[in-house]
Amino acid sequence: MCATKTALLLAPALTTTGTLLYGWDQELFLRPLTLRNTYRDANALLPAYWSRLMTVGWPRLLSCLVVWLRVNMARTLTTDLLSWVCAVVAVTKTLAVE
What is the Cα–Cα distance from 51 to 57, expressed in whole angstroms? 10
Q: Which pLDDT does position 1 carry in this prediction?
A: 65
Backbone angles phi, psi at 78, to 5 degrees: -100, -65
The arithmetic mean of pLDDT across residues 68-77, rounded, is 92
Task: Give pTM, 2 decimals.
Answer: 0.45
Q: Report the C-alpha gap between 83 and 75 in whole angstroms.
A: 11
Give the separation between CA 70 and CA 75, rounded to whole angstroms: 9
Please tell me the predicted confidence (pLDDT) of residue 97: 67
Q: pLDDT, tens digit, for every residue of 13-55?
A: 889 999 999 999 989 888 888 888 888 888 888 888 889 888 9
Round to whole Å and give the CA distance between 40 and 46.
10
pLDDT of the residue at 80: 87
First to last CA, the chain: 46
